[in-house]
Structure 1
Amino acid sequence: MKVLLATEKPFASNAVNEIQHIIESNGFQFDKIEKYTEKSQLIDAIKDADAVIIRSDIIDKEVIDAAPQLKLIVRAGAGYDNVDLSAATEHNICVMNTPGQNANAVAELVFGMLIYVLRNYFDGSTGEELRGRRLGLYAFGNVAKMVAKIARGFDMPVYAYSPIMTEDDLRKEGEYGVIPANSAEELFDNSDIVSLHMPLLEETRQCVNYNLLSRLPQDGILVNSARKEVVNEDDLMRIMEERPNFRYITDIKPDKHEEFAAKFPKRYFATPKKSGAQTSEANINAGLAAARQIVAFFKKGDETFRVNPK
């Protein structure tokens, strides 16, 4: 039984060592490919693997077709739109993610970016504070819950809307102290800052549009640590052109990054590379969770975190 760790952007070395220990101590063979530059290298490495751990690596139909022994793909992280779920299901391959392992790292980055921008990139000029600003959370999964916890320390009222949770569901999450919104429109109506935390699905693609953005105040702030595709970039550009104090903060460079940067240099910030999960703690948490899920899958048939249909 061969387990492949395939990461174009590698885990920290101590995380790799721990992953290898978990795999080998349970009687499986461990192999890895890191910092590869060609898809052909991934295809060659995966052709005799029974399971693979990936990060943001693309596992499409071509890669899956080249791996006849593959039974399990584990995405070390929450999002899994980099895996062709239909192709995996057709080949009877289970696809899992590791929800929650990167949540704190992403949540802390949300506030790091907000403070950086509100303090004018620490250029010494007079900035602004977070205290008292209404924070809206669009979706309420693991990351959003951590954002809500941190926001309480800033004395921020927190609203939350989830398409898959009712208002009663949100009220039951009492430890997070959120005020439920019954629609995305209501969320934006009641927020000064909206932070996006939804996965990329067909129903969420470009769901943040002009109608929603126009409901934020003139100096509203949109924060995106989810996926670039959930925002309609043309609509966002229009709002920022109409409102000279509107700001966009993102951990994922939009397709129109150069245009945003040129037009709104003081009101637009994007991290040079996606950084939400880039902490040593998140590296270790997600990698070890992936390794343990592989062991549980092959030894116990555990498919707890399966994300594709059988």
Structure 2
Amino acid sequence: MIKILANDGIDPIGKQLLEEAGFTVDTQTIAQDQLATALLNYDAITVRSATKVRKELIDACPNLKLIGRGGVGMDNIDVDYARSKGLAVVNTPAASSLSVAELVFSHLFTGIRFLHDSNRKMPVEGATQFNNLKKAYAKGIELRGKTLGVIGFGRIGRETATIALGLGMNVLAYDLYPFDGHIPLTFQGGIKVDIPVKSVSLAEVIAQSDFISLHTPFADKPILGAEEFAAMKKGVGIVNCSRGGTIDELALIEALDSGKVAFAGLDVFDNEPTPLSAILTHPKISLTPHIGASTNEAQERIGTELANLIIDHFTK
């Protein structure tokens, strides 16, 4: 019988599918430093972003046959090394795209109407400083007609662009692999419209966008740092729902303090799970604790897709 450790959990639907296929699924979380011993009793492990599956762990568990990632990026897995040792490595790249894209716009709408700061101050000052707060938050803007720059135009980047186009925004896209095609929009009643989108240079996205959303894996250095912030429009909004480390957080704070960046929305951070205090307390930053894929619908899709990938691997 195939035994699977879902170390970062799995949606009940995914667990049910695996068990109906005759697999044993354990969902307790085992500490990283104890995994090498525990995994000797399993054929496969599934993870999200918390558990790391590095070379040392792979070498310590020659019995492992499969590593599954419930989500998109696989930065926490030594994928090439695992595959070189004969392990299957699978993930669920499409399942969470819509949820992440919707969180991007949660941060954008929050930023343009100062909701992040208003929600902090209204409970404390609303009864005594109502008119002052009303004046302070009276200079919001609209998204329609503005330009959204999307850095990283994979599945999530394209889903983000789809929402932007549906709102009447313009989209500038950058990706390492140039894109020249259409983004399909589907409206109520089954009406479908294809919008042409062609990727441009990173420099164009940085210089011409009113808002910028990051959708890239972790790189050797931040994609947005002091030089990039200096090249942006004054009053730009920045959203990062991709990976910590893709923005130089100290440079971001300087850009926020100077007014170059109007606001930022962050779902990911350099030092998770202990983000920089100056980031957490900044009045111009909207904050969420890495919940981009954490919707009921996305978790069901992730669990179902991951379970089917595992079943297919072990039964083919």
Q: Which amino acid aligns with 1:257?
A: L
Per-residue deviation, residues 46-67 of structure 1 (Å, max 9, x unmatched):
2122222211121123332332
Structure-2 change in CA distance of 1:197 and 1:228 (3 Å): same
Gaps of 5+ in 2: 119-133, 186-193
The residue number in structure 2 matching 1:259 is 278
Number of residue pairs matched by the alignment? 285
Structure-2 change in CA distance of 1:145 and 1:248 (3 Å): same
Q: Determine the C-alpha separation between the residues in 2 that align with 1:79 and 1:86.
A: 14
1:212 Cα deviation (Å)? Answer: 2.3
1:26 Cα deviation (Å)? Answer: 2.8
1:86 Cα deviation (Å)? Answer: 4.6
2:34 is the alignment partner of 1:46: no
Fraction of identical pairs, as percent: 29
Residues 36-185 of structure 1: pairs in structure 2 closer than 5 A: 36=30, 38-56=31-49, 57-121=51-115, 123=118, 125-126=137-138, 127-165=140-178, 169-173=179-183, 177=195, 179-185=197-203
Larger Rg: 2
Q: Which amino acid aligns with 1:180?
A: K
Q: Secondary structure at the match of 2:141?
A: coil
Q: Which amino acid aligns with 1:55?
A: R
Q: Determine the C-alpha separation between the residues in 1 that align with 2:225 and 2:293.
A: 26
The residue number in structure 1 matching 2:290 is 274
1:129 Cα deviation (Å)? Answer: 2.2
Q: Which amino acid aligns with 1:153?
A: G
Structure-2 change in CA distance of 1:227 and 1:245 (3 Å): closer
1:20 Cα deviation (Å)? Answer: 2.8
Q: Determine the C-alpha separation between the residues in 2 that align with 1:239 and 1:207.
A: 15
Per-residue deviation, residues 156-198 of structure 1 (Å, max 9, x unmatched):
1111111112xxx323556663643431001112210010001
Q: Which amino acid aligns with 1:197?
A: H
Q: Determine the C-alpha separation between the residues in 2 that align with 1:85 and 1:145.
A: 25
Task: Give the CA RMSD over aligned residues.
Answer: 2.3
The residue number in structure 2 matching 1:285 is 301
Q: Determine the C-alpha separation between the residues in 1 that align with 2:301 and 2:245.
A: 27
1:288 Cα deviation (Å)? Answer: 1.2
The residue number in structure 2 matching 1:224 is 240
- The answer to which structure has the higher strand fraction is 2
Structure-2 change in CA distance of 1:241 and 1:259 (3 Å): same
Gaps of 5+ in 1: 301-310
Q: Determine the C-alpha separation between the residues in 2 that align with 1:6 and 1:236.
A: 36
The residue number in structure 2 matching 1:197 is 215
The residue number in structure 1 matching 2:24 is 30
Q: Which amino acid aligns with 2:306?
A: A
Q: Determine the C-alpha separation between the residues in 1 that align with 2:141 and 2:29.
A: 41
1:116 Cα deviation (Å)? Answer: 1.7
The TM-score with structure 1 as length reference comes to: 0.83
1:278 Cα deviation (Å)? Answer: 0.6
Contact 2:218 2:246 in 1 (8 A): yes
1:137 Cα deviation (Å)? Answer: 0.5
Q: Secondary structure at the match of 1:47?
A: helix
Q: Determine the C-alpha separation between the residues in 1 that align with 2:277 and 2:311.
A: 44
